[in-house]
Amino acid sequence: MNQKSLIGIIGILLTLSIFMSFYSMIKIQDLENRFTSNFKESKDEEKHEEFELAEKMMYLQRYSEKLFFSGKQKNWELAEFYLEEMEETAEKVIKANQFEQGVNISAQMKEMLLPKIQELQEKVKQKNPQEFEKSYKAMLMNCNGCHMISKHGFIKILEPKQNNYFQEF
């Protein structure tokens, strides 16, 4: 083997190794990208699971009961407060894009509960106890209506009977 062909072989080997190292750099970058995007996806899933619909329902139940007693006592200022709390809670569910048993709960919340809350706000402004009571009953029908369509018909909300809160209404 003469010197010229030896240099030639070394040259080919060098070019090959340069190509190989470029190739592996690209591969590593690719793997990194894949890892970080997987990580991001699982973060998004976590975020979705973090939203507890039942927890929001607990608040809706509590506020709607207190709203009932406020209305009964014609404490319109307090009734307005609980309606605002209910509206905020409903808005959170609407924003969270929640599905349950294939039913779009967020869309139904906007259709079924939000208008009833707004209707009650009107009655509170008018300070009309009879109208308030009517609208309250209609709202409860929609609470239960959504439970029915989302296959939770076994959760039936009734009008409160006795007040167990240590709070002035």
The label of the residue with tokens 């894949």 reads 34
Site for ligand HEC in 94-153 (CB under 6 A): 100, 105, 108-109, 112-113, 142-143, 146-147, 150, 152
Q: How far is the CB of 23 from ligand HEC (least distance, A)?
A: 50
The label of the residue with tokens 């929001």 reads 56
Q: How far is the CB of 61 from ligand HEC (least distance, A)?
A: 4
Nearer to ligand HEC, 76 or 136 (CB): 136
Q: How far apart are the first and last CA of the chain?
A: 104
Q: How far is the CB of 115 from ligand HEC (least distance, A)?
A: 11
- 4 burial (CB, 10 Å; 0-12 / 13-18 / 19+) is exposed
Sign, CA dihedral 126-127-131-137, equals positive
CA pair distance 59, 91, nearest whole angstrom = 13
The tokens for 4 are 């010229």
Nearer to ligand HEC, 70 or 108 (CB): 108
Amino acid at 98: Q
Nearer to ligand HEC, 78 or 146 (CB): 146
x/- mask, ligand HEC, residues 41-80, rule CB under 6 A, reads: ------------xx--xx-xx--x----------------
* Footprint of ligand HEC (CB under 6 A): 53-54, 57-58, 60-61, 64, 100, 105, 108-109, 112-113, 142-143, 146-147, 150, 152, 155, 157
